[in-house]
């Protein structure tokens, strides 16, 4: 399989702002609401603008300045009911959910939405959320052992009757969930997203995830970040797809866009950013090889708490579209985006940036001697039975 799929259009997603404070930890104006009415309108704007996915964040304890949070799965279900085409990804923590209960919940959401439910499995980095709930806090690599078992249970219960699995954390015996998920052509089960920069996370992603989410990275950083996932996937005979986080600042001039970035960082809520930095970099340092999420993130990077500035989707619509297609050429299949002013800027992305991206994608495919199909969907590559 080639690194880039030039024949298939890039997919676009947005972070659902179901937590307060917007997507940057800054006192700069953010015309973004965390309430449901704002998000219902945003979801409809996004699907009309050409976005295919939305990702609801999971958070229980206040962190990075987000002192109010809506629960991700219920919020995602409500957004699915409010839309017609958008696929909504609910982020969940193993250790807070039993995989069988989640599998059943997602099946119901899938039927309500006619096959548009998906999950993002988050192994967890905020220790207080687990400990203060009275839940076990596992050491770093062990969290990924549990996550892998969790994902295998999800896939097994979604695809088999009488499913059994015996593991360190979950024992499933001859269990059948009925009804099964909606039968969507080309989709064997609801999509499973997963992220993490550590060696353990990348190995897990390669073995069991349908999609691997990367924090924001420059071009070379993205290549390096997915190398471990690709190697693990190759050993398992699998072909996951790749998503990349990016914060979009589209303005009439590059100077204006960069000035907006400067203002965001200058107005950063320093105590919140530093508290977030301390928590996540302690988590990263706990890995055996010192690699982990946010391990090399600067203060500026962490003002957007998934390193979205590092992707450098900052400039004019033309500049941003060109950079997006450069990422496609090295293997990105989906851009997960965030903004200062979500409703206005998601709509503007659809009118000002997406048409340029589609033209550049067609040009890149033509130059490579590949037919570009603007209506194509990503093929789903499932492992053999032994690989599950």
pLDDT at 368 (0 to 100): 95
pLDDT at 292 (0 to 100): 55
Quickly state the pLDDT bin for 273 (edges 50, 70, 90): confident
pLDDT at 271 (0 to 100): 81
User: Taking the model in full, what pTM does it have?
Assistant: 0.93
User: What span, in angstroms and rounded, lies between the C-alpha atoms of 186 and 377?
Assistant: 9
Query: Taking 50 as the threshold, does the pLDDT of residue 385 lie above it?
Result: no
Quickly state the pLDDT bin for 124 (edges 50, 70, 90): confident
Instruction: Copy the structure tokens of residue 154.
Output: 């999800």
Query: Taking 80 as the threshold, does the pLDDT of residue 293 lie above it?
Result: no
Tell me which residue has tokens 């989709």.
187
pLDDT per position as a tens digit, 161-220:
999 999 999 999 999 999 999 999 999 999 999 998 889 999 999 999 999 999 999 999
Instruction: Copy the structure tokens of residue 228.
Output: 């471990």
User: What span, in angstroms and rounded, lies between the C-alpha atoms of 192 and 210?
Assistant: 5
pLDDT per position as a tens digit, 247-264:
999 999 999 999 999 999
Q: How far apart, in Å, are the Cα atoms of 37 and each of 32, 49, 130, 183, 345?
A: 11, 18, 30, 31, 17
386 vs 311, higher pLDDT = 311
pLDDT at 125 (0 to 100): 80
How much is the mean pLDDT over the chain? Answer: 92
Residues 6+ apart with CB under 8 A from 3: 330, 331
Among 1, 9, 23, 11, which Cα is nearest to 247's?
23
Residues 6+ apart with CB under 8 A from 232: 202, 203, 204, 205, 206, 207
φ, ψ for residue 12 (rounded to 5)?
A: -125, 140
């Amino acid at each position: 399989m080639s690194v880039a799929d030039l024949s298939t259009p890039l997919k676009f997603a947005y972070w659902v702002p179901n937590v307060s404070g917007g997507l940057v930890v800054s006192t700069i104006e953010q015309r973004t609401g965390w309430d449901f009415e704002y998000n219902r309108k945003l979801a409809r704007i996004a699907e009309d603008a050409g976005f295919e996915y939305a990702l609801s964040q999971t958070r229980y304890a206040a962190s990075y300045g987000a002192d109010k949070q809506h629960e991700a799965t219920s919020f995602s279900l409500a957004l699915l009911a409010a839309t017609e085409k958008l696929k909504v990804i609910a982020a969940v923590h193993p250790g807070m959910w039993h995989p069988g209960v989640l599998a059943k919940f997602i099946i119901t959401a899938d039927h309500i939405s006619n096959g548009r439910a998906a999950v993002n499995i988050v192994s967890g980095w905020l220790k207080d959320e687990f400990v203060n709930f009275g839940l076990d806090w596992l050491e770093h690599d062990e969290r990924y052992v549990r996550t892998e078992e969790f994902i295998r249970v999800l896939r097994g219960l979604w695809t088999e009757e009488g499913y059994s699995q015996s593991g360190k954390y979950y024992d499933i015996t001859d269990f059948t969930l009925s009804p099964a998920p909606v039968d969507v052509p080309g989709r064997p089960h609801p999509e499973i997203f997963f992220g993490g920069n550590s060696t353990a996370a990348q190995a897990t992603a390669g073995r069991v995830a349908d999609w691997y989410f990367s924090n924001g990275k420059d071009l070379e950083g993205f290549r390096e970040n997915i190398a471990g996932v690709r190697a693990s996937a190759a050993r398992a005979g699998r072909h996951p797809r790749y998503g990349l986080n990016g914060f979009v600042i589209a303005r009439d001039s590059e100077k204006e866009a960069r000035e907006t970035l400067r203002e965001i960082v200058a107005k950063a809520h320093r105590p919140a950013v530093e508290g977030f930095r301390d928590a996540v970099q302690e988590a990263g340092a706990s890995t055996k090889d010192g690699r982990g999420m946010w391990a090399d993130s600067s203060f500026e990077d962490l003002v957007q708490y998934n390193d979205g500035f590092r992707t450098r989707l900052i400039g004019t619509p033309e500049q941003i579209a060109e950079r997006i297609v450069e990422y496609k050429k090295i293997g990105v299949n989906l851009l997960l985006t965030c903004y200062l002013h979500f409703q206005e800027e998601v709509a503007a992305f659809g009118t000002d940036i997406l048409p340029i991206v589609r033209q550049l994608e067609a040009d890149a495919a033509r130059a490579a001697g590949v037919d570009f199909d603007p209506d194509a969907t990503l093929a789903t590559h499932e492992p053999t039975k032994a690989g599950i």
